[in-house]
Amino acid sequence: MFDDPTGRAGRIGPNAVLQLLPVLEQAGGAALRDDMLQEAGLNEPPSDTGLMDEGPAAAMHAALRRSLPEQAPALLREAGARTGEYILAHRIPAFAQIILKILPAALSAPMLAKAIAKHSWTFAGSGAFQVVSTRPLVFELTNNPLIRGEVANAPLCVWHEAVFDTLFQTLVDKRLTTRETTCAAAGGRICRFEISRR
């Protein structure tokens, strides 16, 4: 369904960084954007073709949470939504999108979940992603590189939630919402996402 190559361990889709940059610039100007690039060890934005090392992407997300703890969740959520929109515009063929929208949710949701699992390199990097259940929809991400090593009082993976929300709300049912119920940064063994009508 997604027309993109499979990634390698330790590599991640560049949209983990690229879709965050305009959000940062809107929130704090070019200075904030450039500061976060520097914190990530990047002299310039990554290429939008192929994959990038997951390390700088993780470093940028962590630096944002550290520098702007109050604003970071909303900024990362916006970047996740933009990533979902990019996937819809460039990675899922129009015909496949039409089919998913026509089918009842009971059929389209598992199909989309399967496609996400097949191309989970986009957001999982060296982590391991699996669809635990399709009724209800439950995803698990083990060793999530974007929050690896962090410690928090609440789940951190709002970027992932927003990516899933954008895809499922657009292609399956606009009433679906993703909630991270367990996060490795908040003491969980894995990052667990549940998608249901709210």
Banded pLDDT at 50 (limits 50, 70, 90): confident
- Please, what is the average pLDDT of the chain? 94
* Structural domain includes residue 4: no
Q: Residue 6 above 70 pLDDT?
A: no
* Structural domain includes residue 134: yes
* Structural domain includes residue 3: no
The reported pTM is: 0.93
* Structural domain includes residue 56: yes
Q: Which domain holds residue 130?
A: 11-197
As a whole number of angstroms, the distance between CA 6 and CA 26 comes to: 32
Assign 116 to helix, strand or coil: helix
As a whole number of angstroms, the distance between CA 9 and CA 127 comes to: 8
- pLDDT of the residue at 2: 38
* Structural domain includes residue 46: yes
User: Dihedral, CA atoms, 111, 89, 13, 15, nearest 10 degrees?
Assistant: -130
| CA distances (Å), origin 160, targets 43, 44, 145 | 25, 24, 12
N-terminal to C-terminal alpha carbon distance within the chain: 27
Banded pLDDT at 9 (limits 50, 70, 90): low
CATH code of the domain covering residue 41: 3.90.1520.10
* Structural domain includes residue 1: no
* Structural domain includes residue 127: yes
* Structural domain includes residue 6: no
Percentage of the chain lying above the pLDDT 70 cut: 95
Q: How many domains does the chain have?
A: 1
Q: Any residues with CB less than 8 A from the CB of 71 and at least 6 apart, and which?
A: 27
String of b and e for 140-153 (b: at least 16 CB within 10 Å)? bbeebbbbbebeee
pLDDT tens-place string over residues 86-135: 999 999 999 999 999 999 999 999 999 999 999 998 899 999 999 999 99
